[in-house]
Structure 1
Amino acid sequence: MRFLVVFSLLALALSPASSFGIHDALDVVGVAKDVVIWIAKAWNLIEGHVEFSDVPLPLLEKTEKQLFAKIDLINTKLNHLSAQVDAVGTNTISMMLNNLPERIRLELRLNDLLNYHDLVGNAFQTMQKYVQHRDTLEESTLKNYADSVVSHDPNSVTGMIESIYTFAVPSGRGINDRGILHLMSKSLKEVEGDMLCNAHQSPQQVLFSLYNAIALTELKGYSMIQFAYMLKRLYGEGNFTMEAQIARERFQERTNKIIEAVKAAMDSSSRDLWKCDPKRHISGDTYVEVTQLLQGYIQNEVDLNSEGTCRENCAEYSYTKSHGCFQNLWCQKQRRCHGKVINCRYVDSDMWICPADNQSRRYEYVEYENGRVLGRKQGCRKGTSKVDSWWRWLFWHCSYCFCLCDEQGINSDRYINLRPSIADVQNNMVVTGLRFVKNNRIIHLQIQEGKLLPRGNIDMSTVHWVPVEDYRITDSHVANGQDYHTLTWEKRAVDLDDLVADDGYVVTGVRFKMIGSHLNFEIYITPFDFETGELIDPQTKSMYKDNPNTDSSLHKPRTRVRLINPDISTRSPSPSVPDSKSDQYIEFTNTDMDRDAAQTTVPFLDAQPVDSLQPVPLSGAGIFHKGQKYFGGFIAPKLITYDFSKHLQVAFPETEPPIN
């Protein structure tokens, strides 16, 4: 009966005004405060404010039913919180175990931390089962459970909670002279490029997720400890008032110290989130291409001038066009360049050309008589053609030149969307992810959006990718330079920047615009209230933010990311790594002559979705280049996750109002 009464007292303490207040938001600190309050109220009742004999049995039974309905609701909410925190926190711990070097793995003892996390969770589940089967439990079972929770054995719940704390907060001596959060922050900086791009979390998010897992485990442990002391008091084993007070003070001290540790670690951690290369590259799925912007093209000098002469050399034709097809020689057998012919050069007089068997390339490879091979010589399905230069009147050599063709047409996807991609701000939606997609031959930067909730949370049920605008360059009322940009030899640069919103703003959209000959990235930002989660007057207070620096700016002029003899991006045997920074730019160009016969436009654009394991609002976004030397690499989007560290405050200040 006393076991039932203690839960009745808890039910009386848990009035609607003082219940957990667990919403969809992950606010472990807020829940911790509520737990301390209702446990204190329960102790006030147990310590003589209510006489058990004064409670009529019918009222007790009615209160019992209300009690367990309330406990079931609390358990459901706490389980919901656990599911969200553990899904990210456990994944974070396991991910770090599998990827950190052995030295760091041993120092941090992450394996022990994961074990303690699971053991405390199991003990908490046991408490929940005892609540469900309250009518059939023996008193000795509950006494044994209470002893196992508050025992001085290091494997008790109390012992495990203290062990977790020593991992989290620096002790100033021994192997744990630096706390796990500090060491984790340091190691994340060392392994960021190798690991975190596949973790779906920024380094700061990893720390915050680990903190949430630790804080929730602490909260479960504290609840069990207080419950155990209540049981021992009810079963006449002692008063336990001082023990309960010490447990409360220790819990508050640990909570405050852990918050201080994670805040310090998060302050210095990167908030960048980007994607590693996939295990397997799939065109249209993991990457999209600008096609045939600049492509290797072979034509004789006689066709590169309007007079049909051979008086110059190939290098003289740096910017021309194809003027004809002399005597229907090799020019008759290949697809003619109807655009600009650029940067011609002489390689050798005679050659064997292997024509491509698809429309994306002109040649598979070119083999010159001097032995030089352009591209990969791996068989020729269409058979090679012998192409020889010739002499005219013994004085003029009509040489075949290797040039670049800049030709618009159905085979060249070279269009970049300029229309803005804006979240549904009227319904409190914000950007939570980015990716490049190609639609109707136009490349778009697509946004993922989700509804912003209080304290920086996102309503998971609302998260989705916003369809890109479905238009074609041939549609009426669609104009080049207004709706889309056409890449050309003269206008093929993309600015690379990390853009961060002003304090108090979140990202609600993105777009590209033109600054001179450069595509320039912009973010659309909107002010918001962190506590309520409401966007503030988005129609009038939202604004674009950019970096308008150019390569000719007096202050911090842009520098160029140069691709050195690049091969096709997807041929790289090593995963791409970021090799650009803000205030730089990169130009779309052709692949290397020798490696690919200059047949492919690089860099590619990364089409993998960049989003968080736990969707969060963004403080910024960026466009950067990742690659390896001698390969084209990828232009990719980057997320800059919201900085939650500035909202982490001490949960239990030294001076606080008394609990009534």
Structure 2
Amino acid sequence: MEFMKWGLPLLLATLVAFQQPTQTEGLIEDVLDIIHVVKEVTSGVLKAWDIIQSSPLAANIDFPLMREKQKKVLQRLKEVSKQIDQTEDQHAQYVALAIESVTSFMHNNAPIMAKMNDISDTIYRISSRYQQMQKYEAYKDKLEMSTLITFAEWTVSPNAHSVHHLMDRLHLTLLGSEDRSSNATSSNLLQQLTTAYEVSNNQICNTMQSAQQFVYSLYADIALTELKAYTMMEFSWMMLRVYGKGNYTQEAELMRSDYEKRTERTLKLLKDVMLRADRIVYRCDPGKHVQGVTYDQVTRLLQGYIENEVDLNNEETCRETCSFYQSTRSEGCFKELYCARQPRCMGRLYNCQFVDSDMWVCPSPQNSTRRYEFIEYENGRVLGQRGKCTRGTTKVDSWWRYLLWHCSYCFCLCDEQGLKSDRFFNLRDTIADVKRNRIVTGLRFVKKNRIFHLQIQEGELLPRGAVNQSTLEWKPVENYNFFDRDVKKGADYHMLSYESRSIDLDDVNTDDNSFVITGVRFRVVGAHLNLEAYYSEFDFKTGQLIQPESNSYWKSNDNTDVSGARREKLRLENADVSTRTITYSIPLSRHNQYIDFTNTGLDKDAAQSTVPFIDIQDVVSNPPVPLSGIGIYYKGRNGYGGFLGPKLITYDYTPHVQVPKNKF
């Protein structure tokens, strides 16, 4: 039994390294966490071999010395076991999301699902044996020596059921044959899954992971499974040697060499897949749109408004047509006709047109931002959705004046800044608490005091591109009103108007992996709202932002001029209310475009709403990661107003996918 009391804790020494941070700073390398863990475990195993090789042979074991080694190993296990459990649980959550996503969007692809089932079966077999090995430690005082010997021989036996064979099978299924004549990309399951993930619009919203995060989650599951298999094999060779069954130095070297080659090939192909993978995270439509919860609106920017020609000019004449008045004002209320029965437009009127002479108007409730629910003309044309009119319809008729002039009711667009018009965007900087090593990890739009703010989620940056999830919080937006004494238009906020209502649809990104985003803001360039990102330098190994911030800078897409000649306009024409579509919105914009806030269509909504709406859902990744870029994008469906929302571009981990300098 003394053999087991010494051998099993020695096994635990290798298991401890499974998720434990390195204890030797000089060995820390600029690689991702899973790669670093693999390197640390294998290094720990080799040190365990040193203990065995420096110990007496099985026939001459010094039991007090073995008990002392056992004591030290168990003490180390006690110190890190809690951290191991937490890390494994955390990792399992993201793997489960990725696997569930694969099952969801690949269920019709029989060949890929067959491979995934094969991989799942192999992982299960390795993991179940690994768990069995862990149970041996719990019952170390009651196990027979033959039990461990049998397990060790079963693990390393050269047959189809051995762990070594399972590792080969897993590698072949995932990455395909090493035959150079084969197409590495077509046989690489990671690449196939990543491509399918990118073209499946809803998957990114189910997992809240970019395609690069998705493929890394899948790789992490495979890498940790192979690490378990490697640990079992090393343990088995050590146990067989401890129990006097042979030297096994050469066998262990061959196994180690195979594992190293597999790891190098896997990392090479993983790096290639991650380099091509998209890094964008955005939010899909919710199951149900709820104003103030999932979306909000710019209101009464350009809104349909009925006005008679006689009130569109100072002379109170009707000698022109409606289309003559393309930019004017409401100048009065002739004889207190229909103009006296509706709230007057106190701003400018644009794009007036004649629809028909006589109509029935259904006014909206007084607390609504709409003016009309619908308008029905005598010729049968209806603007908006005809339905029950709670306030009752009003008959409105044009008339003749002096038998020469027809005083027609025109349908115009009213640009009126007032209590019911929310049309403001914050221009102040929003910066994370860099002094506490916080970075931006998420974005969302928030409307406060009728002003739209781009709010940031911040979190503490940790070594190797990780984020401390316990520190995540949404930084409160600034609480000010646009009419406050020291608040200035154009400096603190931007007010949309007919002449200035464009917003740029951009991806603001950097290729410099030594910088991450720590702040955001809008600026106004010409007549365009334009997004900017604030970048701060950091050290990947330590996770520390570089202080002071002498190298920090603001970045934007400056490809904007007043004419918009260098940008493509994304047009919304005759659009219906954004929330009326029965299908989910899809991203329709691309970098270097812009879109105008405009009115909904005359026939569909009587031009009563301003589109696009603003998506105010949280945009975060799961798990949270640093950001190399952010953007504003448009999503919608043909014929509907759609939504504007922020998107994230996750940090590019590709440069950190490499074989550690100090090999396994």
- Normalising by structure 2, we get a TM-score of 0.92
**1:619 and 2:628 are equivalent in the alignment:** yes
One-letter code of the match for 1:324?
Answer: G
Question: Sequence identity of aligned pairs in percent?
Answer: 45
1:124 to 124, 130, 138: 130
After the TM superposition, which residues 151-300 of structure 1 pair with which residues of structure 2 at under 5 Å, given as runs?
151-152=157-158, 154-171=160-177, 172=179, 178-191=187-200, 193-300=201-308
CA contact (8 A) 1:311 1:396 kept: yes
Tell me what 1:487 maps to.
Answer: 496
Tell me what 2:416 maps to.
Answer: 407
1:374 to 353, 361, 383: 383
Tell me what 2:550 maps to.
Answer: 540
Tell me what 2:479 maps to.
Answer: 470
Tell me what 1:115 maps to.
Answer: 121
Q: 1:543 to 1:350 in 2, by over 3 A?
A: same
Rounded to whole Å, the distance in 1 between the matches of 2:554 and 2:401 is 62
Give CA deviations for 1:463-515 in whole Å, capped at 9, x if unaligned: 21111111111222111111111111111000111111251211111100111
Tell me what 2:593 maps to.
Answer: 584
Structure 1 stretch displaced more, 576-585 or 592-601: 576-585
Structure 1 stretch displaced more, 596-605 or 146-155: 146-155
Q: 1:553 to 1:264 in 2, by over 3 A?
A: farther
Q: 1:336 to 1:105 in 2, by over 3 A?
A: farther
One-letter code of the match for 1:117?
Answer: I
Structure 1 stretch displaced more, 641-650 or 97-106: 97-106
Q: Tell me the secondary structure at the aligned position of residue 489 of structure 1.
A: coil
Structure 1 stretch displaced more, 443-452 or 152-161: 152-161
- 1:160 shift after superposition: 2.7
Give CA deviations for 1:530-568 in whole Å, capped at 9, x if unaligned: 2222222353221111112225679x7011100131111
- 1:90 shift after superposition: 2.7
CA contact (8 A) 2:441 2:627 kept: yes
One-letter code of the match for 2:115?
Answer: R
Q: Tell me the secondary structure at the aligned position of residue 49 of structure 1.
A: coil
- 1:59 shift after superposition: 5.0
Structure 1 stretch displaced more, 172-181 or 640-649: 172-181
One-letter code of the match for 1:287?
Answer: Y
Give CA deviations for 1:86-143 in whole Å, capped at 9, x if unaligned: 2212321221121125226636622322333344333323322221232222334333
Q: 1:468 to 1:596 in 2, by over 3 A?
A: same
Q: 1:14 to 1:125 in 2, by over 3 A?
A: closer
Q: 1:527 to 1:609 in 2, by over 3 A?
A: same
Tell me what 1:325 maps to.
Answer: 333
Tell me what 1:645 maps to.
Answer: 654
Tell me what 1:454 maps to.
Answer: 463
Rounded to whole Å, the distance in 2 between the matches of 1:433 and 1:401 is 46
Structure 1 stretch displaced more, 557-566 or 35-44: 35-44
CA contact (8 A) 2:347 2:414 kept: yes
CA contact (8 A) 2:13 2:77 kept: no
2:575 to 566, 578, 581: 566
Tell me what 2:46 maps to.
Answer: 40
Rounded to whole Å, the distance in 1 between the matches of 2:96 and 2:288 is 27
One-letter code of the match for 1:263?
Answer: K
CA contact (8 A) 1:82 1:216 kept: no
Q: 1:238 to 1:88 in 2, by over 3 A?
A: same
CA contact (8 A) 2:16 2:77 kept: no
Tell me what 1:505 maps to.
Answer: 515
- 1:10 shift after superposition: 6.2
Rounded to whole Å, the distance in 2 between the matches of 1:14 and 1:263 is 27
Rounded to whole Å, the distance in 2 between the matches of 1:382 and 1:144 is 86
Structure 1 stretch displaced more, 150-159 or 63-72: 150-159
One-letter code of the match for 2:442?
Answer: G
Rounded to whole Å, the distance in 2 between the matches of 1:274 and 1:257 is 32
Q: Tell me the secondary structure at the aligned position of residue 128 of structure 2.
A: helix
- 1:366 shift after superposition: 0.6
Tell me what 1:526 maps to.
Answer: 536
- 1:8 shift after superposition: 5.5
CA contact (8 A) 2:106 2:112 kept: no
CA contact (8 A) 1:11 1:66 kept: no
Aligned length: 652
Q: 1:148 to 1:276 in 2, by over 3 A?
A: farther
Rounded to whole Å, the distance in 2 between the matches of 1:333 and 1:105 is 68
CA RMSD of aligned residues (A): 2.7
Rounded to whole Å, the distance in 2 between the matches of 1:527 and 1:216 is 31
2:112 to 106, 109, 113: 106
What are structure 1's unaligned runs of at least 5 residues?
none
Rounded to whole Å, the distance in 2 between the matches of 1:365 and 1:378 is 8
**1:66 and 2:72 are equivalent in the alignment:** yes
1:334 to 329, 333, 342: 342
CA contact (8 A) 1:108 1:183 kept: no
2:362 to 349, 354, 362: 354
Rounded to whole Å, the distance in 2 between the matches of 1:424 and 1:135 is 53
- 1:11 shift after superposition: 8.1
CA contact (8 A) 1:448 1:465 kept: yes
Give CA deviations for 1:323-380 in whole Å, capped at 9, x if unaligned: 2222222122212211111111100001111111242211111110001011111221
CA contact (8 A) 1:450 1:463 kept: yes
- 1:608 shift after superposition: 1.1
CA contact (8 A) 2:587 2:633 kept: yes
Rounded to whole Å, the distance in 2 between the matches of 1:538 and 1:122 is 50
2:440 to 428, 431, 437: 431
1:422 to 431, 434, 445: 431
Rounded to whole Å, the distance in 2 between the matches of 1:12 and 1:367 is 81
Rounded to whole Å, the distance in 2 between the matches of 1:78 and 1:368 is 72
One-letter code of the match for 1:125?
Answer: Q
**1:343 and 2:344 are equivalent in the alignment:** no
Q: Tell me the secondary structure at the aligned position of residue 210 of structure 1.
A: helix
Q: Tell me the secondary structure at the aligned position of residue 221 of structure 2.
A: helix
Q: Tell me the secondary structure at the aligned position of residue 485 of structure 2.
A: coil
Q: 1:280 to 1:144 in 2, by over 3 A?
A: farther
CA contact (8 A) 1:435 1:446 kept: yes
- 1:34 shift after superposition: 2.0
Q: 1:339 to 1:309 in 2, by over 3 A?
A: same
Rounded to whole Å, the distance in 2 between the matches of 1:12 and 1:184 is 36
One-letter code of the match for 1:253?
Answer: K
Rounded to whole Å, the distance in 2 between the matches of 1:111 and 1:490 is 58
CA contact (8 A) 2:424 2:495 kept: yes
Tell me what 1:313 maps to.
Answer: 321
Rounded to whole Å, the distance in 2 between the matches of 1:141 and 1:207 is 39
Rounded to whole Å, the distance in 1 between the matches of 2:21 and 2:125 is 24
After the TM superposition, which residues 379-394 of structure 1 pair with which residues of structure 2 at under 5 Å, given as runs?
379-394=388-403
Structure 1 stretch displaced more, 171-180 or 275-284: 171-180
What are structure 2's unaligned runs of at least 5 residues?
none
Q: Tell me the secondary structure at the aligned position of residue 382 of structure 1.
A: coil
CA contact (8 A) 2:383 2:604 kept: yes
CA contact (8 A) 1:207 1:266 kept: yes
1:134 to 130, 133, 140: 140
CA contact (8 A) 1:26 1:85 kept: no
Structure 1 stretch displaced more, 22-31 or 149-158: 22-31
